[in-house]
Amino acid sequence: MTEKLTETDLFKMKTLSQPVASTDRYFVTQTRVDQESNDYRANILGFTKAGEFVGNFDNDNYSSKSPVVGANFLFFLSKKTADSTYQVFKVPFAGGTATQVSHFDHAVESLKVAPGTDTVYFKTRETKEVPKKPYEKIPSVRHVYRLYHKADNFGFFPTDGTYLLYTYAVGDDAPNQVFTSQTDFNLTDASSDGPQVTLTQKNLPDDDLDFGQKVLLVNTQTGTEINVTKSHPDWTFINAKFSPDGSRLLLVGHSQEFEGNTQNYVYGYSFATKEFTDYTSHLDEESFEAVFSDFTQNLDATDIAWVSNTQFAFRTSWHGHSKLYLYENGESNCFFEQPLRITNWSVDGDQLVVTYSTPTLPVALATLSFAGQLNDLFNPNDSFDKAHSYVNPEAVSFKASDGLTVEGWLYNPLESSAKEPIVLDVHGGPHQAWTENFYFDIQLYANNGYGVLLLNPRGSKTYGQAFCQEVVGAYGKQDYTDLMTGLDFVLDLHPEFDRQRQYCIGASYGGFMATWAVGHTDRFAGAVAQKPVTDWISLAGTSDIGYSFIPQELKLSRYDVQKLWDCSPVAYAQNVKTPTLIIQGEWDVRTPIGQGEEFFTALLENGTKTEMSRHPQSWHAMSRLGLPNLRIERIRETRAWWDRN
């Protein structure tokens, strides 16, 4: 007899990410949600190529992540205590104690190795400012001068920030500073045949209305900087990787044809000819993951990797699952496509080492051949999985009112009954997607008697550019009817669901849709709106991205007040009869807490049953990366709201 999932099972489960390979071993980051410290803690695990556990490689420090493989050493980021910052550590493959390489006041933010060497490059920053403090005995005034002056899950950007690149080779006394900039950058790769690195950085750093991003080639010995994407000044590039011989780059980026909603594709750049090659736009498949899970932490943005000087692998997201391609001889051939999500991966000779997830498998470490053969090596939750039951969802596909095909998944209750409640869960974005991976909260709801319907309405990623573009300038229109049509379709198909106990829940854009829905229909017995957008007028000037999101997504100006009001859920609050719970993070700067307060106040004035749950020290990503005790409370209060309405 298996056990039902409970909220506190979150503390018993582990996730895997960031797999890398040395000559004879695999290393992977294992993350757990720690109840005692109320924090996320991770360690670097080592395995033989046959999957036998070798041990922890990080001295059992408080938390470690981001392993990279050198010639003789493993390097990673780690912090010894909860209050310390992430620094660079090294440990020899032959064994021994990990030693600390860097000793900065600020955290090291990224780490890359020059392939085939024991030389690493890493980025940090220097500033006297602290982005966010809950309390200061003697506070100081903060002056801001920019449109883009804060970011969710970070806080306020420093006005005096300096961004630094260091290098360290085994045998050096200390890291050496090799690059500095007053503009933030992302370190993407280091070359194997010389002291060169690739960075991505804003094209126009002083223009907050310009969203282009260039690729810089930096020689860390001479200080020379070359803008390799100078011929594409309006494009946004997010990744760049050297070929093994250093003659070319693989790039991931987009043309901004559809502004921030443009799909990313894989491109090539030749240093010899200065020419660009478009490898993947003909596929119409997103080359940067826009899917999410509430379960996995410490994921790298793994989208491209060289296999040889003439071959490379890349991942796309398609119809809610992962596809992997091998490019060779001028063609891209899909060698793996199954109903699952490849969360992270890296090349190991003639195969890949991957971490992956399915709706009924939280995570596994595996090898994946270029013939498409998946071979499991390690499941950190093996005993837990055997003691519990997960629901394998039913694929859903239907025609929307205008004939467009919309897809999703139905999680039936684990134990069937005559009259079952059903929950419509709306994803955020809207340019994200539900995918075929493990969702802890969805499985918990299904384990405890609720059917859960996940739909990818128009506007969702993984269905091509045109489908993604369908919602732009049309929020609350066909996207809303897609969801209602899909719910009707499932109810007709499954008469066991109780039409008197339909519920809806959503977060961010999903929260917008939950509050929009209760203002336009009385079909739901209860609603839970998490970090919703309820008033586009006020969001324009209070969100960290409001000034750009509204003109790009709604195709409106902040001065189109009537039109903004017409597509704001709070404008229809007087129609709401559905009992509505609003859950909001007090540190959220993406959809600030005032968005929830406006709707909550309007419902109270209207006499509608409502409640607001304010989560302290919580950002927009509170359901995935928030304080663990509050994540559990969020699930509990959601279930309680449905149970009593």
pLDDT tens-place string over residues 571-583: 999 999 999 999 9
pLDDT tens readout for residues 410-430: 999 998 888 999 999 999 999
Task: Indicate whether 2 belongs to any domain.
Answer: no
In this prediction, residue 135 carries a pLDDT of: 62
* CATH classification of the domain holding 516: 3.40.50.1820
Examine the domain organization and report whether 278 and 395 are in the same domain: no
Residues 356 and 478 in one domain: no
Last residue of a domain, one of 367, 385, 403: 385
Q: Are residues 272 and 304 part of one domain?
A: yes
- Look at residue 94 in the predicted model and tell me its pLDDT: 80
Indicate the pLDDT class of residue 645, thresholds 50, 70 and 90: very high
The mean of the pLDDT values for the chain is: 94
What pLDDT does 51 receive?
A: 93
| Last residue in a domain, options 336, 362, 385 | 385
Note the pLDDT of residue 317. 94
Could you write out the DSSP letters of every residue in 364-398?
Answer: EEEEEETT--EEEEE-TTHHHHHHB----PEEEEE
CATH number where 279 lies: 2.130.10.150
pLDDT at 315: 96
- For residue 1, being part of any structural domain is answered with no
Give exposure, 10-22, as e/b (b: 16+ Cβ within 10 Å).
bebbbbbbbbbbb
Q: What is the structure's pLDDT at 636?
A: 96
pLDDT digit string, tens, across residues 620-639: 988 888 999 999 999 999 99
Q: What is the pLDDT of residue 132?
A: 61
What pLDDT is attached to residue 118?
Answer: 92
Q: Are residues 362 and 409 in the same domain?
A: no
213-247 as b/e: b if 16+ CB within 10 A: bbbbbbbbeeeeeeebbeebeebbbbbbbbbbeee
Mean of pLDDT values over 467-492: 97
pLDDT by residue (tens digit) across 379-389?
999 999 999 99
Does 95 have pLDDT greater than 90? no
pLDDT band of residue 554 (cuts 50, 70, 90) is: very high
Residues 409 and 357 in one domain: no
The last residue of one of the domains, among 341, 356, 385, is: 385
Domain range spanning residue 396?
391-643
Q: What is the mean pLDDT of residues 178-199?
A: 92
Q: Are both 635 and 507 inside the same structural domain?
A: yes
Residues 411 and 482 in one domain: yes
3-state secondary structure of 575: helix
Percent of the chain with pLDDT over 70: 99
Q: Are residues 379 and 401 in the same domain?
A: no
| Mean per-residue pLDDT, 442-464 | 97
Average pLDDT over residues 562-569: 98
Residue 79 lies in a domain: yes
pLDDT value for 126: 85
Q: What is the pLDDT of residue 131?
A: 64
Please say whether the beta carbons of 20 and 353 come within 8 A. yes
Q: Is the predicted pLDDT of residue 42 greater than 80, yes or no? A: yes
User: Is 373 in the same domain as 518?
Assistant: no
Q: Are residues 360 and 442 in the same domain?
A: no
CB 46 within 8 A of CB 54: yes
Q: What is the number of other CB atoms lying within 10 angstroms of the CB of residue 496?
A: 14
Segment 483-488 shows an average pLDDT of: 98
**pLDDT tens column, 430-447:** 999 999 999 999 999 999
Q: Which residue type occupies 229?
A: T
Q: What is the pLDDT of residues 294-341, one digit of tens each?
A: 888 888 877 899 999 999 999 999 999 999 999 999 999 999 999 999
Residue 139 pLDDT: 78
Q: Residue 458 pLDDT more than 80?
A: yes
Which residue's structure tokens are 């369908």? 470
Over residues 8-26, the pLDDT tens digits come to: 999 999 999 999 999 999 9
* pLDDT-based confidence at residue 193 (cuts at 50, 70, 90): confident
Angle (CA) 382-385-386 rounded to 5° is: 90
Same domain, yes or no: 344 and 464:
no
Query: What's the distance, CA 609 to chain centroid?
Result: 34
Strand partners, 270: 248
Residue 158: per-residue pLDDT: 82
Both 376 and 467 in one domain: the answer is: no
**Is-contact 271 194, C-beta < 8 A?**
no
Give how many domains the chain has, as a whole number. 2
Residue 133 has pLDDT above 60, yes or no: no
